[in-house]
Structure 1
Amino acid sequence: MSRILDKKTSADLLKLLVFVVVTSLATAVLVVTIGNLGFGSSRTYKAEFSDATGVNKGDDVRVAGVRVGTVSKVEIVDRTRALVTFSVDDGTSVNGGTNAAIRYRNLVGQRYLSLTQEVGDTQRLADGATIPIERTRAALDLTVLFNGFKPLFQALSPDDVNQLSFELVQVFQGEGGTLEGLLAHTASVTSTLADRDEVIGQLIDNLSLVLDHVADRDKQLTRLITSFRTLVGGLKKDRNAILDSLEDVSTLSVETASLVDGIRRPFVKDIKELRAVAGNIDKNKAELDRALQVLPIKLDKIGRTAIYGSFFNFYLCEFQGRVNLPGGVQVPVKYETGSDRCDLG
């Protein structure tokens, strides 16, 4: 029994150790990622700025957008300047032509230190050297910038404001375009508007004409609005009656459906018989047409006979027809009476 417990305890202990090791490694990776920690050799430099507002310990140091180090300390020197101490990877070249600038990382206010290479001394600076204020540039003052665009921002949606703000920051920081490009686009828009000045003028004239017509019909427009308001008020007042009538309409629809359902079979039968009658008429249309043509002549003769008295003598001279037998067999029938009156025509 004790051996079984020892084996089970050993297995559980092994699982616990594996869990602790994996958790520790994951935590270490997370700490390194979030803390921007590096394990290679690095060099420490300093840079003087006229304003380092918003720069904090741990902010990134980037070259061409790639993180190469971190800010380790921010302090004041001579009561007028800020001294930023930062460290970069040993493979990063910081020399006499290196310029340092504070730039916005995002609109929240986070900054980072950007190192750029200009024409100058290419000899690498010694560890702990300071980049003078002549080769540094403070961050853009967003408050002054956004106050200048405040009238424009008031006419835009929040999403458009955020997008435009980000683009402005990128432009004025020298990223994603240049101020000359922005002005060129603005000039292009202005030129396009100038080319369309005639069309815009015609549009304004037409709009003025429309407004004049509307102003001439102000009484009719007022009367229309008043009538529409009265209509809406009446509908609101009679809304209960209207809603109640909808229930009656629904009941009527159900009753009508039941009525149609009751006469459906006879109605279908009548339609079939009507189709048969129409078929017979179509088959005998020639005889029917001839009868209709002869009928006026016959009526004229009958009318002449009737002027001598209100009496008529009819004689059956001949009878013709067909008898339908079972199986679809038709037998023709023809009978002549042989009356003497028939010979008189």
Structure 2
Amino acid sequence: MLGRSIRIKLVAFVVVASVSVVYALVRFTDFGEYFGQEGYTVTAELTASGGIFSHAEVTYRGVNVGRVGELRLDGDGLEVDLHIEHDAPDIPRDLDAIVANRSAIGEQYVDLRPRTDSAPYLEEGTTIPQERTSIPLGVEDVITDLDKLARSIPHEDARTLVDESYLAFRGTGDDLERLMDTTQEFVAASSENLPHTVQLLRSGNTVLETQNEQAGNFKSFSRDLNLLSEQLVESDEDIRNLIDATTPAAQQFSEVVQEIGPGLSSLIANLLTVSNVQAPRLDGLEQVLVSYPILAVGADAVLTDDGKARLGFVLNLFDPPPCTRGYEGTERRAGTDDSPVEPNREAYCAEPPGSPIAVRGAQNAPFAGVPSLPSEDEVEANSDRSQESLEEERRRQAASANTPGLAGGSGSTNNSLAELLGLPG
């Protein structure tokens, strides 16, 4: 006969074993569906299995929310049923389904990674499209790619790389230690700001797509850089000679500057004065530079070896009439009279500003590069001079044999250095 204590222990063991078996059936199998704990099922479309298997875990934000169900082949890949438990939280439909490895030896599971926290949510019959799913890279692919990479590196170049790396990192142990410590701090900060880090990585896809579109330009840049590197190697001796000669040249230049230092400052100050004088007259200086080459060419064509000048004049005199008012006190004399005579110091152009006559004189010259334009009142005051009076003034001046006239334009249509040189703008 079994004692009372033994029977109690047996009953307790049976109860614990039964509860454990029921929990295991509900937790790790579909047994709970027979008792009303259906949950719902969604379908994920994969390009390949990626090692996933039935009854593997389905996680959401690191928490187990279901199990992998049936796996079915279709025309484009694989369909996987994901059974989500009835007590799982609402899972946004805008998500990525990632087949991931829990450890280095495998143990695949499906991780649901939402892109948003808002509705709509997953429900019965929802399909996660193939572009929103991914599988881990196969171990055989990794090994194959590593083998190809190792075979693609020339042995001599690899030896050079190792030697140069040794020279580069020799004696930098403390710096590398600080770099590793800083990297750990960076990783910790990234973990604390995981949502922002994830968003940054997603945004980086745009940058990578742009780089992929510009792949041709990058290849061209690499080729050009390779050509530049080859040229630098060929010019190594010249570059070294240039570097060796730079130091003596710099010293000589410094000595020259020190010797002429006081005089150089005075010269620069004087040149500043000349520049200030020339600045308001840049337009006129530019016109001289434009016209002088044309005049030089014309003079060479006019003057010949036989002592004759071959030229023709086309005059456009007195348009507008030159200023004669204010010069009445000047005594006219023949052009052949070269005897000394006192100049008329009181002569000046007495035409008012705004006159249609060619106003001249220092009082009408531009000041600081700004033309002295007549005011509206000055123009209005001279508006009563009729065209007939201007024509009479032209005829009167043309009839005077002793009145000099000026020829017209040089025939050049170039009014600036840009036009003369054929520059745009």
Query: By the TM > 0.5 criterion, same fold?
Result: no
Structure with more helix by fraction: 1
Normalising by structure 1, report the TM-score.
Answer: 0.37
Normalising by structure 2, report the TM-score.
Answer: 0.30
Greater CA radius of gyration, 1 or 2?
Answer: 1
